[in-house]
Structure 1
């Protein structure tokens, strides 16, 4: 499968470009970026062609991987789907529900596959744990803490990200926590949000349709020594916690590419497709509305 990469920033360099260029079943055919000189540099590092015209890239590939801010991703994903390209997208799918629905609608109308890269869902140990806890069931409550130090660490490459500064932890790490809890505890009927704590710290409480509840604490403003992620479940089977992953983002993204290849080849949607990512977007938007439309 010929695939194009949209984006040239730190995430594209650290995860997308190495994962896609090293994948045995993919040909990284091209790179497009909002800064042509950065696209030239990144393409050269990975033996690909740099494109000035994104529509030309769409015409030359079977799929695109996107490492761009959510609003830019949503717009380009719609255009790529209409051009017949399968979609390997990042979280969050879009900054608004309307934009997320546009992506889902375009993919369905074009008949293209989509996979959204919720990192934890493509790391073997966490994904196996999620699958097992969904099978076990009987959970009474869940608790997630996803604490980053993006805004408190010196030299963090994501600290200058405009969309992260605008949207905060709710939209950056919130999707990770939800991608773990929803497959296990099910659809939330109600979401309650509060902004208590330093910086962009927010708290969510979810009332799940199956009767369980969950709470989430999200931040990109944690002290570096306090940063980290944890998920704990309590129920009839006892207490269990999300295991740490043994691999980083690039191998996980390669597995997301495997999932896209499988979905494109079989026509069977992956659990982390654009429709699932839209549901996550709807939850985030509902929480943001309660917080007054801003999370910073």
Structure 2
């Protein structure tokens, strides 16, 4: 398979800023068409990238080898099922879904159809981050880890295009940013065997986890951090000393290009990618378990 015909579902800021331009520029891809919940937006985005709009998802599925989805998780999951049933490979966004049954239904559909799947976890497909994650996983011997993944999306003076995202307002940083932190910690420390969560300021959530390797980790995630306090840091501590996730030097478009490469490889070889639908399902299961432990903070002595 030298060229993959990929259709795009979604017309929001992420689709406009990352998916569409990267797909249109990728040498191994033909951007077949675009579908969106707002037909006028789909038409404008398709025209900007030399493609065409489609009136329904089903019509787009029929014209494609694969689909890339840039939609809210509650919309993405059922469309992923339909696309897989139509024989399309899947390039999904995180989280795959915000409920375990929806994520499992998508994974089951992929298995039944025998199609390839990749979930776009930005850090896992970033060149510097991906190499660092692989090196630390190979080194082993890690005792503890901590991740801070904080963004100023919901602050008063925000300029983020995602500030009015209904699903982010509803589910918060745990579900929007939590997948990023988990994608790194699971790759290095192994699966999560136990997890608990506590609420912090605004939508901030603090996670404490025990991993299959025996290591313990913690993470602080949120979308309402002050701009001066926002950012990403991951620190590992173990027999080799201390290791810190390198700063990203490129935008998400470069990482997305690598995710497309991964889908091409999985579709061409039949070999699953480490960030496939089953990894996406596992992340959803862990986040759902964490959400289930959340309760209001109780003052000491209360």
TM-score bin, normalised by smaller chain = over 0.9
Contact 2:198 2:295 survives alignment (8 Å)? no
| 1:204 has 2:207 as partner | yes
Structure 2 counterparts to residues 107-118 of structure 1, below 5 A: 107-118=110-121
Aligned equivalents of 1:292, 1:8: Cα separation in 2: 36
| 1:185 has 2:213 as partner | no
Aligned equivalents of 1:187, 1:118: Cα separation in 2: 16
Contact 2:152 2:158 survives alignment (8 Å)? no
Contact 2:199 2:295 survives alignment (8 Å)? no
Number of residue pairs matched?
292
Shift of 1:75: 0.6
What is the root-mean-square deviation of aligned Cα atoms in Å?
1.0
Query: Could you say which residue in structure 1 is the equivalent of 2:300?
Result: none
Unpaired segments ≥5 residues, structure 2: 297-302
Unpaired segments ≥5 residues, structure 1: none
Contact 2:182 2:283 survives alignment (8 Å)? yes
Shift of 1:292: 5.4
Query: Could you say which residue in structure 2 is the equivalent of 1:273?
Result: 276
| 1:19 has 2:22 as partner | yes
Query: TM-score, with normalisation over the residues of structure 1?
Result: 0.97
Aligned equivalents of 1:262, 1:224: Cα separation in 2: 38
Structure 2 counterparts to residues 31-42 of structure 1, below 5 A: 31-42=34-45
| 1:133 has 2:136 as partner | yes
Query: Could you say which residue in structure 1 is the equivalent of 2:299?
Result: none
Query: Could you say which residue in structure 1 is the equivalent of 2:162?
Result: 158
| 1:287 has 2:265 as partner | no
Aligned equivalents of 1:224, 1:106: Cα separation in 2: 41
Query: Could you say which residue in structure 2 is the equivalent of 1:80?
Result: 83
Choose from 143, 166, 173 the match for 1:169. Answer: 173
Query: TM-score, with normalisation over the residues of structure 2?
Result: 0.95
Contact 2:11 2:41 survives alignment (8 Å)? yes
Aligned equivalents of 1:29, 1:188: Cα separation in 2: 39
Aligned equivalents of 1:220, 1:19: Cα separation in 2: 26
Aligned equivalents of 1:120, 1:211: Cα separation in 2: 23
Query: Could you say which residue in structure 1 is the equivalent of 2:199?
Result: 195
Q: Give the SS at the match of 1:262.
A: helix
Q: Give the SS at the match of 2:53.
A: strand
Choose from 63, 67, 70 the match for 1:64. Answer: 67
